[in-house]
Amino acid sequence: MKAKTPKDLIIETLLEKIAVKKMAFENTQNAFSNLKQVIHDFSEEYNNELQSLGKEAVIEYKDLGNFEIELKIAGDLIVFNMHSNIFDFDKNNPIWKSSYVNENSFASYCGVINVYNFIADSFKFNRLDDIGYLIARIFVNKDNHYFVEGKRQLGFLYNDFSNSVLSTFELKRILESAILFTLDFDLLVPEYDNVNMITVAQVKANINNVKYQTAKRLGFQFQADRNDI
């Protein structure tokens, strides 16, 4: 058999990777589209339930296009963002311990949906210095297999990459876990020394919109909280 030239290898690898990344992107795009419907249905269901109890609707859903969704729940805002690129994993990542990944060519290439938690007032009052937190990342590959990296239950309930296939049911479970984490991830008062100075200009502009950062864990280590917040 004639040995392959560098040109042959380049073209072969290029075509393989294009096909794999296209499949992973389309699966992630389809998952994001389904997630929009899941979030929309969730907001309607819960608002109807609250209204039937005589309570004001506190859940708002916003479709912001092909790559972003917002879900406001009381004082929290959860932002779902689909990245437009496909990623591979460092060889030290635990997914490489799976025979599924090692034996399935290009199974490690994934699209990603990031899930962020912000304080709703940060957006309402345009407080651009406020901080949000990445609470989960949903990875989807060419076979529509998925796993989730994240805080607390988001970090251990959805990590069977070899066998888990992403479906509307699974997206609903992930959404519920993200909401439960967010509702239990409370706003803490910042440390005194972080906010003990203010300028005259800030007072004159509006003391409620001063330009120091507001975040759920400002002055604390979110990373150190790991899964026990």
Q: What is the mean pLDDT of the chain?
A: 86
For position 193, what pLDDT does the model report?
74
- What are the pLDDT digits (tens) for 176-223? 999 999 998 776 666 767 666 666 666 666 555 555 556 555 444 444
Q: What is the pLDDT of residue 198?
A: 66
105 CB-contact burial (10 Å; exposed 0-12 / middle 13-18 / buried 19+): exposed
Q: pTM to 2 decimals?
A: 0.83
In a domain, 147, yes or no: yes
Whether 122 is covered by a domain: the verdict is: yes
On whether residue 42 sits in a domain, the answer given is yes
Residue 95 lies inside a defined structural domain of this protein: yes
pLDDT in tens, 29-88: 999 999 999 999 999 999 999 988 888 778 999 999 999 999 999 899 999 999 999 999
Query: Does residue 216 belong to any structural domain of this protein?
Result: no
DSSP 165-225: B--HHHHHHHHHHHHHHHHHSPPPPPPGGGSS---HHHHHHHGGG-SS---TTTTS-HHHH
Considering the domain boundaries, does residue 167 fall inside one?
Answer: yes
Q: How many domains does the chain have?
A: 1
Residue 227 covered by a domain = no
What residue numbers bound the domain in which 77 lies? Answer: 6-187
Residue with tokens 């690129």: 85
Tokens of 97: 């311990």
